[in-house]
Amino acid sequence: MADSNETFMSWLRDAHAMEQQAEQVLSALARRIENYPELKAQIERHLEVTRRQEERVRGCIERRKGAPSTIKTTMAKMLGVAQGLSGLFVGDEVVKGMLATYTFEHMEIASYKILIAAAEKLGDNETKRVLEEIVREEEAMAKWLEDHFQAITVQYLRREDTPQATAKH
């Protein structure tokens, strides 16, 4: 039977894999966005934040004398690639990508808040501090998306109604 420390390490490994998945999805979306420069720039900024988050979570795992899970990381990357490719098959990729990213941000926020509660219970103040920083970054991305839903949706619909324009990307 696992103890709290083992469970916490498993959850940290899940978070590390989650960031790897996010990196795959955001990279694919950013590569294909052409006609929405503000959204593309924000996704590219958050992609860099995501890469730093992955490194910081890895640091938390290593500080606790562990290592990321190769299996979880590989599976998350494969899922991220599949999610990224799924945008190729929808006509409204930019809108669906925004929706998927917003949903993923909230899953990350909830995951990190659970990890913060566990770190606090275990007295791991350094990990708690790192996770609180990451939550603020994820909340900022979710807020940015929320603040831009209307404008990007309207931009998409305008492009869709313009015969010579491409709305998808």
Residue bearing the bigger pLDDT, 8 or 84: 8
Q: How far apart are CA 96 and CA 88, in angstroms?
A: 11
Query: Among residues of the chain, what percentage have pLDDT more than 90?
Result: 66
Question: Is-contact 45 37, C-beta < 8 A?
Answer: no
| 168 is a domain residue | no
pLDDT at 85 over 80: no
Residue 35, domain member (yes or no): yes
Cα 71 from Cα 19, distance rounded (Å): 14
Q: What is the pLDDT of residue 81?
A: 52
Structurally, how many domains does the chain consist of? Answer: 1
d(CA 60, CA 143): 26
Residue type, 5: N
Nearest to 72 by CA among 2, 18, 152, 150: 18
Query: Does residue 165 lie within any of the structural domains?
Result: no
166 in a structural domain: no
Q: What is the pLDDT of residue 80?
A: 52
Q: What's the pLDDT score for residue 68?
A: 80
- Which two structure tokens, joined as six digits, stand for 73? 């990381």
pLDDT at res. 32: 85
Q: Of 97, 102, 76, whose CA–CA distance to 23 is shortest?
A: 76
Residue 24 burial by CB count (10 A; 0-12/13-18/19+): exposed, middle or buried? Answer: buried
Q: What angle do CA 62, 78, 58 make, to 5 degrees?
A: 10
Any idea what the CATH number is for the domain that residue 148 is in? 1.20.1260.10
54-68, 91-105, 108-122: least confident range: 91-105
Would you say residue 77 lies in a domain? yes
Q: Residue 12: inside a domain, yes or no? A: yes
Residues 90-105 have pLDDT tens digits of 567 888 889 989 999 9
SS3 assignment, position 161 = coil
- The stretch 51-63 carries a mean pLDDT of 97
The answer as to whether 121 is a domain residue is yes
In a domain, 169, yes or no: no
Q: Which domain holds residue 16?
A: 4-160
3-state helix, strand, coil in the chain (%, to 5): 85, 0, 15
